[in-house]
Amino acid sequence: MAASARLLFRGAGLKAYTANVNSGAQSSFGTTLLRLSPNCSSQTKTQIKHASHFTYHPDPVPTMYGPTTKMNLFQSVTSALDNTLASDPTAVIFGEDVAFGGVFRCTVGLRDKYGKDRVFNTPLCEQGIVGFGIGAAAAGATAIAEIQFADYIYPAFDQIVNEAAKYRYRSGNLFDCGNLTIRAPWGCVGHGSLYHSQSPEAFFAHCPGIKIVIPRGPVQCKGLLLSCIEDHNPCIFFEPKILYRAAVEQVPTEAYTIPLSQAEVLQEGSDVTLVAWGTQIHVLREVVSMAQEKLGVSCELIDLQTILPWDTETVCKSVAKTGRLLISHEAPVTGGFAAEISSTVQTPVHTLNQTDSNLSTMAKTRELCKDIRDKIVDQHKAGMGYRTIGQQLGEKATTVGAIIRKWKKFKKTVNLPQSGAPCKFSPRGASVIMRKVRDQPRTIHRTWSVT
């Protein structure tokens, strides 16, 4: 079964990923067109394959936690578990196939080092694993349960939501299972299909009493995992499986914690806030540099890290500054966690899944608030002309005209996400802008004066 970890990276596309490790930001397009392999016949040559990619962007070497060594994501998990088993005599690790090291090698060597009564296999029963973990935690052991793939966590859903999350509350703080941490590989991997690719954080986000944490790389992973283990609440720790090998960083060997429920601003910006977690952070890093280079848009990138309870303050403060929010995650759109963030933030947002965000929303005119827009439409309906309305409300006639045209076309005054490429500018307007940016690449939206 050690070989199963190798399989995940045997796919042709992933050669590109591992080759790009440690190479920092690259300005390539997010969607790559791949030719079919020579194995396929001439009949299929006309079909074009679309593939998404991401380039892993490692964190800078941390200096405040002591000496570091090179580790990939699964090694950082092993290191965290090693530190825990060493310092906490009540700590136990269990799950399917963890004894020999786990299907992703996250627990390699731990059984030999700490003994078979501290690192042991469970039979194939997720509900049983989590239920057992809750009991062990309630009795005082630091229980670290592994669910082999996040896709298999659903038999344990009842135990997590009905038992673990509510234990402290329903016993009036007499009992709790805060010592429980559940780890599971999470997210797209390229060939996982229905049952080895899921991102179920949204299902659990609907449940108070548990914490959900998703790291973006080895340094974060070790720190966050140790925080989860220390935390006196049951935690679910999702590890992006595609990063197990692809993500390599210098990780401190000693134990250290990264605080939960604190989002990290990875890059400051002024035009739009980008929020993501896990693998998507690396996609958005590329987007940030693309947007800066090609569109002159300054993005603020936030890694949410803790999904539940999430850091509303950091995100809202950022959106208040930039006025725009874009969230990217792998899970399905409807009911995905982006919906929660966007409704909390309550400004017009674009919510996206997976690959690139096309930030062709460039330097905009000031967006008028909904009241004014509605007023404009009402006045137009009453028969007023554009110029008159503009004079009355103190807006340009062209702005008024644009709003009314939009209302006529879409029957709405709100700026909702629409199908088709965003078309804020007419082609002539776009070429004016492109000419200006080509002449002066350092143009930013503040120096822009749009007519």
Partner 1 sequence: CRHEAASVVVSSRSYADFTPEATFDIKKVDLHRLEEGPPLTSTLTREDGLKYYRTMQTIRRMELKADQLYKQKIIRGFCHLYDGQEACAVGIEGGITLSDHLITAYRAHGYTLTRGGTVREIMAELTGRREGIAKGKGGSMHMYTKNFYGGNGIVGAQVPLGAGVALACKYLGTDQLCVSLYGDGAANQGQIFETYNMASLWKLPIIFICENNQYGMGTSVERASASTEYYKRGDFIPGLRVDGMDVLCVREATKFAADHCRSGKGPILMELQTYRYHGHSMSDPGVSYRTREEIQEVRSKSDPISMLKDRMLSNNMASVEELKEIDIEVRKEIEDAAQFATTDPEPPLDDLCSHIYANEKSFEVRGATPWTKLTSHS
Please give the residue ranges that form the binding site for partner 1 (CB under 8 A).
Answer: 1-4, 6-7, 10-12, 31, 37, 39-41, 43-44, 47, 50, 52, 96-97, 100, 121, 123-125, 127-128, 151-152, 155, 191, 193-196, 333, 350, 352-356, 358, 417, 419-421
Q: Which is nearer to partner 1, 347 or 358 (CB)?
A: 358
Q: How far is the CB of 41 from partner 1 (least distance, A)?
A: 5
Q: Are 205 and 150 in contact (CB under 8 A)?
A: no
Q: Which is nearer to partner 1, 44 or 87 (CB)?
A: 44
Q: Which is nearer to partner 1, 109 or 208 (CB)?
A: 109
Reply yes or no on whether 254 is catalytic. no
φ and ψ of 342, to 5 deg: -65, -35
Q: What residues have CB less than 8 Å from 50, skipping those under 6 apart?
A: 31, 32, 33, 34
Q: How far is the CB of 2 from partner 1 (least distance, A)?
A: 6
Q: Which is nearer to partner 1, 2 or 61 (CB)?
A: 2
Token pair, residue 111, equals 């059984």
Q: How far is the CB of 50 from partner 1 (least distance, A)?
A: 6
Token pair, residue 282, equals 């690396």
Q: Which is nearer to partner 1, 15 or 446 (CB)?
A: 15
Q: How far is the CB of 11 from partner 1 (least distance, A)?
A: 7
Q: Which is nearer to partner 1, 34 or 124 (CB)?
A: 124
Q: How far is the CB of 125 from partner 1 (least distance, A)?
A: 5
CA distance 274 to 272: 6
φ and ψ of 446, to 5 deg: -70, -35
Q: How far is the CB of 211 from partner 1 (least distance, A)?
A: 26
Q: Which is nearer to partner 1, 194 or 369 (CB)?
A: 194
Reply yes or no on whether 126 is catalytic. yes
User: How far out from the chain centre does Cα 363 lie?
Assistant: 26
Residue of 126, 201, 249, 286 marked catalytic:
126
Residue of 53, 57, 163, 196 marked catalytic:
196
Q: How far is the CB of 319 from partner 1 (least distance, A)?
A: 19
End-to-end CA distance of the chain: 64
Catalytic residues: 126, 196
